[in-house]
């Protein structure tokens, strides 16, 4: 009788723990879900703006002249070896 009682108690404890974990996960998703969506949108906008800045920087004359110099040096080194 005692062994059956202990097994039943463990089963009830396990079921209660599982139900509590599912409840916590559900409530957390409900509370944090909209915030996470907002953060994802902000992050996407941030990345797009960073790429635009990088592309405009790479198109600038200053960077192009540096790239030309670098390519020239690479060509010189490759012909000298």
More confident residue, 69 or 81: 69
- At residue 57, the pLDDT reads 62
Residues 21-79 pLDDT 10s: 999 999 988 888 888 888 888 888 888 877 776 666 656 655 556 666 777 677 777 76
- Of 55, 79, 77, which Cα lies nearest the Cα of 69? 77
- Would you state the pLDDT for residue 54? 67
User: 63, 57 in Cβ contact below 8 A?
Assistant: yes
Q: Is the pLDDT of residue 81 over 60?
A: no
């Amino acid at each position: 009788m005692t062994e059956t009682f202990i097994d039943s108690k463990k089963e009830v404890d396990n079921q209660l723990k599982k139900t509590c974990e599912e409840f916590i996960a559900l409530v957390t998703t409900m509370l944090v879900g909209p915030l996470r969506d907002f953060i994802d949108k902000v992050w996407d906008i941030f990345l797009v703006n960073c790429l635009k800045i990088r592309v405009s920087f790479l198109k600038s004359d200053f960077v192009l002249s540096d790239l030309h110099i670098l390519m020239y040096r690479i060509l010189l080194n490759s012909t000298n070896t």
